[in-house]
Amino acid sequence: MLVVLLLSLAPSGAVVLTFATSGVIATIPVGIDPGGVAVDPVAHRAYVTDGGDGDVSVLDTGRNAVVATISVGGSPADVAVDPAAHRAYVTAQSTNSVSVIDAGRNAVVATIGVGINPGGVAVDPVAHRAYVTNIDSNSISVLDTHGNVVVTTISLNTSPVDVAVDPVTHLAYVANSSSNRISGSVSVIDTRSNIVVANMAIDDYVGGLALDPTTGRLYVANGSRACCTSNNSISVINTRNGSFVTDIHHGFIADIRPFIVADIGVGDNPGAVVLDVAAQRVYVTNNDNIFVIDARRNVAAATIRLGSSADDLAVDPSAHRAYVTHYGDIGDGGNVSVIDTRRNVVVATIRVGYTPDGVAVDPITHRAYVTNYRGESVSVIDMPTVAPRS
């Protein structure tokens, strides 16, 4: 029987340890080197990229079973779901393509050639577009998800690492990594003309980014090449500022600084940035910590100590939970930290499979799906079974 360690704080501030006998309700065997995972909650499906054998495992989330293994070839890396069309988009790195999977047929309905070494993919279901980051060709492929064709390829100065789309202002924001001669930046794309209308120099290093669709504020992880400096921060940019939008659509921004409403220190090497819109909280992975930002006041709200390096992060807003995978935890298995986002504390450390990597949450069932890279499996976590004892 699986044992789950639960942590809570006594009134004195001491850590209280309690135990539960559940947490992982299923361990589902999948293919070799599972990494990416995405959930379609309405279709009751989860899609897992099996990078070692060129497949995507399709899980029935109601039965916690593999219902299809679909060959996409070419080292599949990332996967994103269009929840309206019930289609999944999978980047295949060694074949420089994106495979489109139809949930109803559990089959590839299109294979679209893109740039060199495609990494991430983001879907805009309203505009029927998908944006693919081509790491080694320094470009973004824009896909028409109705026709399953490349609309255009947008050239960038350096390798794109992340992308976010604002359907209100018709702008997309691309985080670009630094090179030997070029600092990290954010490229701004007009999604109607598919033209880069601005390149905003941020800092030496740019990591993940997240956009709040309700406020239009963009959160960018950035820092200095010199370790341990105060430059490691989250820059908060007000993209709904009238002059920002006007300047962008006229093709220039002379100085990004007037639109940065806050620079919030988050320690060394900030990575993934995840937003909880309802709670107005921003979560940032940083080595073995999670930094929490109060988005209403643009201040650091908490630092959550994890004990080991954070890899991936997913938030379940309505259940007030965040899940953090620790890829480096090998030993006799791996761990997932579960955070109570109301109290900003780790409430459970759950043993899963070898080297947990990706994590995604089903917002309807509130179950978390964790890919175990070396374990060739997916762990399904049901947090209501491991709620802290009163």
Q: Which domain holds residue 97?
A: 31-155
Q: Tell me the two tokens of residue 150.
A: 């490349």
Closest CA to 24 of 343, 340, 327, 333: 333
Cβ atoms 23, 386 nearer than 8 A: yes
Q: Tell me the two tokens of residue 166.
A: 């604002």
Overall domain count for the chain: 3
227 with 294, same domain? yes
Instruction: Return the ∠ at Cα 249 (arms to 248 and 252), rounded to 5°.
Output: 45
293 with 184, same domain? yes
Q: Is 258 left (phi over 0), alpha (psi -120 to 50) or beta?
A: alpha
189 with 223, same domain? yes
Task: Please tell me the distance from the alpha carbon of residue 171 to that of residue 114, in angstroms, as a whole number.
Answer: 21
User: Is 314 part of a structural domain of the chain?
Assistant: no
129 with 258, same domain? no
46 with 66, same domain? yes
Q: Which pLDDT value is given to residue 121?
A: 93
Return the CATH number at 230: 2.130.10.10
20 with 43, same domain? no
Cβ atoms 324, 336 nearer than 8 A: yes
Q: Tell me the two tokens of residue 41.
A: 């909650």
User: Is 245 part of a structural domain of the chain?
Assistant: yes
Residues ≥6 apart with Cβ < 8 Å to 198: 187, 188, 247, 248, 251, 252, 253
25 with 36, same domain? no
Closest CA to 359 of 279, 285, 304, 294: 285
Per-residue pLDDT of the chain (390 residues), as tens digits, is: 333 444 444 433 333 333 333 589 999 999 999 999 999 999 999 999 999 999 999 999 999 999 999 999 889 999 999 988 999 999 999 899 999 999 999 999 999 999 999 999 999 888 899 999 999 999 999 999 999 999 999 999 888 988 999 888 888 999 887 665 556 788 889 898 898 888 887 766 788 899 998 999 999 988 655 444 446 889 899 888 767 766 666 655 656 777 888 889 887 778 889 999 989 999 999 888 999 999 999 999 999 998 888 889 999 999 999 999 998 755 556 899 999 999 999 999 999 999 999 999 999 999 999 999 999 999 999 986 444 444
pTM strictly above 0.85? yes
User: Is 238 part of a structural domain of the chain?
Assistant: yes
**How far are the Cα atoms of 182, 215, 274, 365 from residue 218, in angstroms, in the given order?**
22, 9, 11, 29
Which amino acid is located at 117 in the chain?
A: N
Task: Please tell me the distance from the alpha carbon of residue 346 to that of residue 337, in angstroms, as a whole number.
Answer: 6
User: Is 285 part of a structural domain of the chain?
Assistant: yes
129 with 148, same domain? yes
Domain endpoint, select from 255, 274, 305: 305
Closest CA to 97 of 72, 131, 122, 70: 72
9 with 147, same domain? no
Q: Per residue, what are the HEC states of 280-292? A: CEEEEEECCEEEE
* pLDDT per position as a tens digit, 223-261: 655 444 446 889 899 888 767 766 666 655 656 777 888
Q: Tell me the two tokens of residue 292.
A: 């929490």
In 202-336, alpha helices (H): 242-249
297 with 241, same domain? yes
181 with 117, same domain? no
Q: Tell me the two tokens of residue 370.
A: 């964790």
Domain endpoint, select from 116, 132, 155: 155
Domain endpoint, select from 95, 127, 155: 155
Residue environment code for 29-58, b if the CB has 16+ CB neighbours within 10 A, otherwise e: ebbebbbbbbbbbebbbbbbbbbebbbbbb
CB under 8 A, 24+ apart: contacts of 243-246: 245/169, 245/171
Task: Please tell me the distance from the alpha carbon of residue 142 to that of residue 184, in angstroms, as a whole number.
Answer: 22
